[in-house]
Structure formats: C-alpha cells, structure tokens
Structure 1
Amino acid sequence: MFYIQHNLFIRWSLVVVWCVALMTETSTLQAEDKQSRQSAVHKDARLVDGAGKCSGRLEMKCQGEWRALNIRNTGRQHSFGYAEVACKQMGCGSTLSITQSTNVTNLPAWEVDFVCKGSESTLKECRNHRTRGMQRRVNSTYSLQVICSESLRLVGDSEICSGGAEVKSDQGWVSVCEDGFDSETQKMFCRELGCGPPRNFRWGSPIGNPSLFKQFQCKGNESRLEDCVSFMKEECRQAARIICSKETDLRLVGGETLCQGTLEGKQAAEWRPLEDGWNSLKPEHFAKVCGKMGCGGFISVSRNNLPELRPVWLTDCETSSSFCKSWRGTSSNLALAVTCEEDTTLVKGPSRCSGKLQVRSGQSWHPVCYSFFSLEAALVTCRDLKCGFPENDRSSNFTRSPVLNCAGTEKHLRDCPSISATEEMLQECDEVSLTCTELPPAPYINIHNVQGSEFVSTYPPKVFKGHRFAISCTVDSPYSVLSIRLKSHIGTDHPNEWIQSPHDKKAVFIFPVAEDAHQGTYQCDYNFNFSSDIFSQPKFISVQVEELNNVRLVNEETECAGRLELEDGGEWRPVSHRHSWSLKEAAVVCRQLDCGSAVSTRGVERSAGLQHAWRFYSDCDGSERALTDCGTVKKWPSSSAVQVVCSGILLQPNISLFYTMRELLDYQPRYILLSKGHSFSITCSVKPQYPGGYFGIRFNQAISISQPAVNHTAHFMFPAADEAHTGTYSCVYVNFVFSHNFSSESQSLSVKVEAEFLEVKLVDGVLREDDGESCAGRLFVKYLNSLLLLSAETTVWDMKHASLVCRQLGCGSAISTKDIKLPKKELMARFFSDCDGSESALLGCGTVLPWFSSSAVELVCTGHQGGADKN
C-alpha cells in the first residue's frame, strides 16, 4: 500500500480542539486497556459526507456530541499526522490526500491543542508535548477532508503504480476481471492508489494465475471503487497489467472523466484549485497539463465560478512552455477548468477532430493502422474525442480489426478489447486518417412522380394537385440506421412528422392525394441504433403543388369538346384512337378539365394523314383525377385521333330580374322584395357559342316555362306579382350539339312578394302577441326595390331617429338602440339624415346608399300599448 510521506506536507495554519475527558489518558497505558480501547476505535472518530466510510470530513465525539476539528491554526506539518491516524482508526489503511475545506456557514467544532505523529492507533492516543489541553466548543468555517485507502493494489512490478490489479475481499487479495474494468474504472483505481491516470492502452498481459476474481460493474458516476457493484467469480478473463502514471502535483476533478474538470494543484501536501489571476497561462502550458494527466491533446480552458469563496493557488507563470510552479495562496470564487483529449488524438489535421489517429501506450503515442481498425472503432474514436460521428470518406477501408475489436458502443477507444500487434502486423501500416463531424451527414432526399419510381427533375420540384407523390430519404452510411424521419411545416407551432424504419437504409413516404396544404419545405434526417437520441444533419427540399394542365380538347367553340391532345416531355400531340380507348378514359379527361361527365367519345381521321401522335396505354377504371394517373404514352405514327365530348360543353347562362324597369342585380341582397300586384320580368342570356337552343325558368326546382333563344337571349314577363311568386328562380339553357342535348344552369335568385312594401322593418326580434308584428330587432330600410340592413357605421343615428322608426311602424316610442356585430362584412345601407325627429317616416327626411359593413343597427320600441317587448 502506497503511503504519502510526511515530508510532502509543509506547515499550515489549523486550530484543533481536544476534549478534557480524552486527555486524561496517560502515556503509560496498560496493554489490556489499550486492547479494550481498540475494540471500539470507531466510537469517538469518524469520516462523514464523503464517497464512503474511508473519506470525508474528520469529526470527533466528546460528551455525546459529534463536532468537526477546527484545524485553521494548527501547524501544517501535523495535518498529515491527523489524517494518517484517522485512516488507521477507520480501518482504511493509509492516507491518499488531505484538503482544507471551507464552508459558507460555521460548523460546530472542537478546539484542541495536540499533535499526531502518525504512528498512533487512534486519535485520542495523540498528545501535546507541553500540556494535556483543554476542551472548548467553537464554530469554524474550516475542516479537514481526508481520503484513505487500503482496499486495492497493483502487484508484480517493483513500481507501486504499475502491475496487476488486485482488490481486497473476505478471501484475501483477488485479481480483477477484464470484463467491466474499463478506462473509467482503471482511472478510479489509479486515483485511489494516489497515482496518476493509467498510461497504457490495455496492450499488456495478465500477471500470475489466480484462482479467485472480482468483477466490477461501475455505472460511471461513482467516486470510489467500493461504490461500484461487484461480485466474486471463480473464472473470468484476468485484466491486463496496467501502468498508472506517477503521482503528480496536478489533477482535474469534478468532470465526467479524469481528463476534464477543475484544475487543482498540490503544494505543501494541500490540494487547491488553480486560478490564473494574471492571464499568464498559454495553450502550451495546458498542453503540458494534459500530458501530466496521461491524456491526449489540449481541447479547451475556461474560468468557472466556484460554489463559494475558497482557498486557491494563484499562478504567476513566465513565458516558458513548462507549467509554472510559482503558486501563491489566496481566496477566490474562480478556478480554471480544463478539458483534454483522452488516450486518443488526431494529429496533423486542419482541426482537432480531423487528422491521423494516434493512441497512447505507456509513455509514447503510436499510429493506428487501417488493417487494425473497423467501422465500430471509428464510431468509438469520434465519441471518445467528443467530436460526434465519423464521416464516410474512407470508411470502406475499415475492416474488422485484429487489434481493436470494438462493438461500437464503448465510451472510449481504450475500452475496446484488444490484443498486442506483432512485428509482422506492423511492417506495413497505412495510418488511419479520420474526420469527425458533430452530427451524422445529411441523407439524400428526392421527390417522385405518381408512379413512385421516377424522380421529379424540375426545380423547385412540382407535384400536381390530386395526384399521388412520394418523398424518399436515403442514407449513405455503413452504420445501422434505426429510423428515418420526415418533417413538414418547418418552423411552425404544429409541424407534421412521419417516422419509418428503413429498408436498405431508405424510407419512402407516400402521399395519396396532393393538396395545397402539401406545398412547402420538407426536412429529412435519421438516427443510428447506438445513438437514438441524436438525429443527423437535416436535408431540405421545397415542393410546389400545381394544377395538372397536360390535356386539352381542341375546338373553337368550347373547351369541353373536341380532339384530344396530351402534353408529355414538353411536346403536345394528338392521341391516336386505339382499341384501349373507351368512355372510361374519356370520363377521366372530362373530370380533369372540370367539364362534367363524358357524353361520348370516338375516333376521327386527321386531314393531314399519317403523323406523329401519342399511343395511350391504359389502366383506367374511370374514377381517376387525371389521365396520366392511370396510363402512359409513347410516340406513334397515326392518322387517327380521339374526339371527346363532355357534359359541360355549354357556357353558363346569366339571369337578371327587372322591376318597374330597373334591374335589381347591381348588388347581392339575400332576397329581392317585390310588392304584390306589381309586374316584373326575368331575362336569361348566354354568350354566343352555338346557334339555336332554348331557355327555361326553373322555379323552386321545377322547369315552369320555356322560350326559344333569340340572339342567345329570352325574356320572361310576370304581369302581377303575388305570394305564389315567392321562391327561387334560375335560367336553364338547352341546346342540341354533337348529336346530344346539353344543358347549363345559371346562378339562382331568391324573390319574396309581400302585400305591402314597407320602407322600414324590424326583423329577428320578438313578435307582439296581438298582431304578430315585430317591434324590436334589426332595422331594414328600403333601397330601390329591396330591403337592406342599416349599417351601424351611420354616424348620425341616435334615439331621435330610432323613435321616428317606432312611430312609423306603429310601435310606440323607442326604448333603446345599439350596435350589433356580424360575422363578416356584407352589403347594407348607410343613412344620410336631415331629420329633426318630428317626421312621420324615416325616408321622408333622409336617404340611403349601399355600404359594406360588419355591424348593424338594432332597436327596441314600446309597442302599441306602451309596454316594452320581451327579448
């Protein structure tokens, strides 16, 4: 067991307390009394708040009370003596390290005046050379942190920091199994011995032929080996001989590994964080630090905040590249944090994540050969260097290694099982060059047409509305891909996401029907089996959704009948009439052109004779949205062509209503209000297309009357309107062309006939019980021969005008008037006033004009009896 010598520590200020009761023991103790005391060595001393029973803050028990030792003003040379005796009393062997600790709040402490030589068995055997001391309770911010160890050792070498790993068990000293004894566990082992980190790359041979072994299963967050799960085994592969570096006066603590963390230095047996108060340290200094740690190259340094103000060593270096030794004690809440590479490095490259691969073995760095390397080893290397993932430029050269047999999941390259390379293996060495990247490289992404097999070559890629399309993502990587992810609506609050398990490192995402919502940017990425939480660099592609306009019917009069032509590869050609053409294909053409259903189709001869055309190969059932969804074409010499006639051949007619010689379609009210007994007329017309034909009036879904189309127009007269004329009217145009009767219908008009056409009206309010008239509700006013809502944007409207309306309707006086909000803007009336409030009719002192608004006027009248209607 390695012991730290007394002369490694210098004197430092500590105040120590000792209990009077403990000082009553004399130096001439009898043997039987000493044996009795040793049976209870743990009764009055302990180490607390450490990683285990053999580390922590030193405390003593006196008069039933546990307190820390106030060590502030005790001579520095004696601090090691206290630690040595404490480790021995705890049954923990020798002292590995001591540290003076400070606390934000005062700790209860004992102040004593005694020293320990280190040879005593218990702390109470220690004596003051002048006096027995006196007991005193104090509070102190200073305490002594101690780390002990005697549970492990390295054997077989003359050096204490190298050899075969052994640990102490109930059966005595046993060897360590290789399984579970990874690089982090080895570093913990070396640290507990008081040595530096391991220097070899596990290229050694076991020592001895043991019969018992201990296997460790450390999780990686333990601070001491005894905290790891372990169990005894009678057979296992013995861990290879390891070499720990000599004890150093520098160390990195608090990081995930011993190659990163807060930089601490040991001076006069005391470890303190280092602070570069003068910014005198350069990268070459920290490179030396990484070398002392047994680590690879220097990565980075930062100044981190400590949890509290504590003692530090303040550095003051010269320009020399060796790490300076001029340290001065002070207090600070800042310390240097250094990150080094582990036992792996990339050299002679443009960055620390690219270059030729070297690994440390013993005191030297050695290149790695391609013949000793593998894909899995490349993964572990980039992970070890904290550089992400390997690029694929030379991955095909990696073969299963006879030296580094990595599984790909190891945290460090040195954790990979390995064997020693022979001289023959090293004679021809093609050194590994490796480039790592933060994330796996981006995949390839493509858009496919409706058949899902051909790439869309346009830029940006276009897909056609209603058509099937697909997006494929392909990964070019030698590693096992777990899943491929596709995302759309990037950057929105609700992106769409699809994930597939790859087939041959490819995923195809099929969209059955393209809609406007599919237009936008898509992102594809992927993850590996061994790092499912990290996705690759993304690959983006933008998609446009357009209408497909690759068919047309050639005819001067209409777009819905004529000779069929189709565009393919930028070239328009007629379609040859072949035996595969039928009404099913014609129905698809009519649907694609928005021309209704197919009426007829046939073959016609072309006047120019034999010419290039398209021969159509069909698989259509008639329900498809576009012709090329269910067929394909090839160039074909032909004198025939296909004629298609669709039901939507006729243009849509127009409808107009005239009342007392005024047309009532200058605006779009909900209905046209006509007065009973007055005449009106409806005019049907259509743009010139085909001669002849006739118009019919569809009234409430039935054709009531019809007239021939004269100059593409027909007039229908109604001499006297009555309640029977209330309903919906539309014009139906009928003509006989292409050997069939075709029809087309106009938009519809709603007409309401009332006995008396009032100038003002309240609707949607409560009806009075006596006569059914409404004296409350939204106000309608007459404009031309229709009623329009009165807009609340009328600025002159007030209770004076409201009372005028109530009086005109015979509803008494006005109780209230207010604005109401509508869901959207619609055509209303705006009132322009010259009223003083005494008039008998609203339009007798004002007028209205059309106005688009989203708010209307509502009013409530008292009614005939002077009482308000109930709402």
Structure 2
Amino acid sequence: MDMNPLLLLMLLMLWSSGLQAEVKHNSKEFLRLVGGASRCAGTLELKHQGEWRPGFGGDSFQMKAAAAVCEHLNCGSAVSLRRIEMSYSISMWLLREVCHPSDYGLPRCVLSWGGSSVREITCSDSVRLLNGTSLCSGRLEVNYNQSNQSKQSWTSVCEADFDQQDAEVVCRELGCGPPSALQGALYGDVGAPVWSKEFQCEGHESALLDCRSSNSTRSSCSPGKAVGLTCSEPIRLVGGASRCAGTLELKIGEWRPVDGPNWALKEAAVACKHLDCGSALAIEDRQSSDRAVWRIPLNLVWSGSPLREFARSAISSTVLYLTCSDSVRLLNGTSLCSGRLEVNYNQSNQSKQSWTSVCEADFDQQDAEVVCREIGCGPPSSLQGALYGDMGAPVWSKEFQCEGHESTLLDCRSSNSTRSSCSPGKAVGLTCSEPIRLVGGASRCAGILEVKLGEWRPVHTLRLTLKEAAAFCEHLNCGSDVSVKQRNSSNRPLWAPRPYCGLTYFSAMGCLKHTIIVSSSWRSPPVLELTCSVRSCKHNNSPLLP
C-alpha cells in the first residue's frame, strides 16, 4: 500500500495533532524508534489502542516523512532511511491514505496491516538544520544537553565560531554532500546563540561534537549572526572518464545506483546541475545484475526537488549512466541547446569548480560552433550578449581564438592579454540548433528522421503526430508542409518518445530516451521518413500509428 510522500507527511502531522489529547492524558508518546544505538535511531513503531507495532510499511515512506519523525522526537535531522525485509509477515499499523483524525476519529484512520518490511530511521542526535529549502540546508542548531534525553537543549551557533572545516563535518554527519554556502542568518535568526565556544574541527571528524572547541567562551554574539548552512546533494557519478561521467549514485545512509525508468536528458540536466557539472550530453540504461537501487519519481526531478528527499528503495537490473560536459554549460535557456554560456575556469580542482560567463567581445561564430558541438547540439543559430540574462561582469577575460575543428572550447587557443573590463549586458547568450537531420532522401529536406543523443539514431513513430512531424521540417528550415511514410527499422537501435512528454521539435532532446533494440525475433517497429515542403493534409494531433 503506497502513498504520495507529501500526503504521507501531512497525515503524519495530522495524526500527531489528532493524538495530542491522548498523549497529554496518558503522558506517553505514540511514536518511537527502537533497537538502535540511541533513542534517535531504530525501527519506527507507532502506538494505537495501547499496542506498539511497526508502522508505515509502504514504499512511499521516504526521507521527507522520516524528517517529520525525527522532528517529532526532538532529534536532529534525518540522516538515513532503510527498508528492512523480514522473512515473515508481521502485524503493523498503517494510516489510511485519505483520512483526517479530527473528522473521522483515530480508530477509523488507523488500519491493522500485515506486512514483511519495516522502516529503520537514523536521526542525528547532536546537530540539525532548520527552516531550510531541503533536508541539507537550514539554520544550524547543536544539542548541548545531549546526555539528558528528557531535556534535549538545542541552540544555534555564532557565525564567528564556525568555519568551512566545521561545515564539512556537519554536512558529512547529516549524510549530505560538501557545503556549498555558509552565511550568518541565511535561514533566519532566533536571537543570540547559547553555544559560545569556537569549534576547531580538523575536517576528518565524524560528528561536530567530536571536534575540539576553544576553552574560552564568547561573551556575546550579535543578532543576525547565527550560522546558516547549505550542503550539496549527496550524489555522484562513478566509473566514468571524469567526475562528470559515470553511473549515477545517490546516498541515503548508503551509496546506491539510481534506476530511472523513462529518464531522458531533461532529468539528466538536473543531475548534472546538482553535480556542478556542465550541460547534459548523453544518458543510457546499463544492464546489471538485480541489485538495490534508488528510484525517484520523474515529476519530482523536474520540479527541482532535492533528489534525496523523495527517492525510494527498489530492486532493478538497470542503472543510469550519465555524461555531462565538465568545461562548458548553457543556463536559463528555452531548451537544452540554449542559454547563457558559462566556462569552468578551475576545472583541475574537482572540489572547487568555478563557473563564469564570457564577454561577448571575446567570443565569435567559430567559438560558438565548437561549444555547440561540445554539448551535443547542432550548429549555432543565434549569438548575442545578454540574450539569456546577465550576471554582472564575466570573470573570464581572455579572447577565445578557436579554429572550429576543436572538440572542446578549452582546447582552443586564447589571447595572452586579459581584458580590463566587460560592460554589463555583454555576457554571451548562445542558441544552438537541435541535433536533428533527415538521411537517405533525395535532398537534405527528405529522408528518415534521426536525432543525436550521444549518437545518431532513427526515431520510432510511436506517439508522434503529424503536427510534430511538420515541426521537425520547420526546425530544419525545410518549410512547414510535410508528407509522412513509415519505414522498417532494419533491426537497429532507435530513439523513442517516452510517455506523456508532449514531444515537439524544441523538446526532442529532452523527451527521446527509450532505446529500442530490435532483434530478429521481433516485429521491427517503424521509423519516420519525412518529405518536407510539399502540400499535405491539414496538420493534426492524431498519432501516426493507430
């Protein structure tokens, strides 16, 4: 029995409020973690009708809901969530998906359920982040009365007593990636912090309270100086030629590969951004033996939600392999092939990537051709300063001198002298064409439709409409009229639109993902042959295949 994770979180809070009278009357809790190393770790149990049982056995119980449990228990942030399979069925308490305890009464909202999986939650018991935009960001608080479980005492920390090495320890303690922002009052302030000793971490410690601290105490800390911390997502690419290529892995207590049914470059671009890499170049499913993976709903990837918060455990025989560019990227564009150009000028230092925009005067058409080819797009169609926004004067101040044959922009020569200034509004905005072509016809405006996502492949006609086929012709500057034929795929790999993507020419790279490998035992799925700029019937949205 699965639930929407956001709804599940809300129901947990409703259950909590619905039980306040019972809790107050009995002076007992209704929720606990048992069997762990501390009261802030263990198997989740719920109390109903005087009986404790494991609770919430469904797949949709994710880190967001685990965080609510940690908060209710006055523990720190949620660090990990494990699904433990039992060899036998056990009695559990499960909350009905649509039920408000105040409307229906608690007995009608809680179901007795038989299941074979339980949830093991680990909360940090010494540090937590509050009021952030994700579980890996917020105002830092430290539990300075940790030894007394009945009187947990949390306080914020003064910015002057906390530095980058301390932040690295906290992010690691919370199961997050390295710190990306550290600033006083970044996530609100609650008066002068009580903690008044300076942390002196060396960076290798497993917990903040394992670090040394100064003997002297600070007499005061100004309001607005409470530490606000943002840690990065705990994701990585492994097994590739660089840190920006490989199998996508996510850490929720432990590192596991990500399995992404229907992931395309649209989702890959989100992962590349989290990794502080460049544009998404290619994505593929790679076969593996059945293993535990993390699975993330597509709509939550698109929304920019933190990947860690909504991943759920699954078993899969495929894993995602991504390739991102590590030296250039396009930001704020209308497609994966457009945006404000940024260059990574500190590429050799993996821990401190440094991206900057480029001055329009230092960049020309030949440079643009190299960039478009490097990020897997077609030739440049527009080059203009501030076309996709501006971020102040660019840091990169040398003129690129590409000859056009280079494989990456940073392989090009650049001027020895540096530019003294670059006016605002002059950061390079670039639009590359989509990597689309027609092959095997009598002209460049006729033939089998192919798209390049790492490599050129024909497009399966599944779910394509005549209107979309005409849009491909228009994008190729071949007119807006089209005649369509279906051809045998000749037993070769194809690109196919994933379900419900709303495929059009400008989103082809974001929607095409499925690789159809045709074997001799299958009926060959048809591919699309277009002839553009001919009179045809009125365009409509009827599928090309029945």
Which TM-score applies when normalising by structure 2? 0.49
More helix by share: 2
Look at both structures and tell me which one has the larger radius of gyration over its CA atoms.
1
Which TM-score applies when normalising by structure 1? 0.34
More strand by share: 1
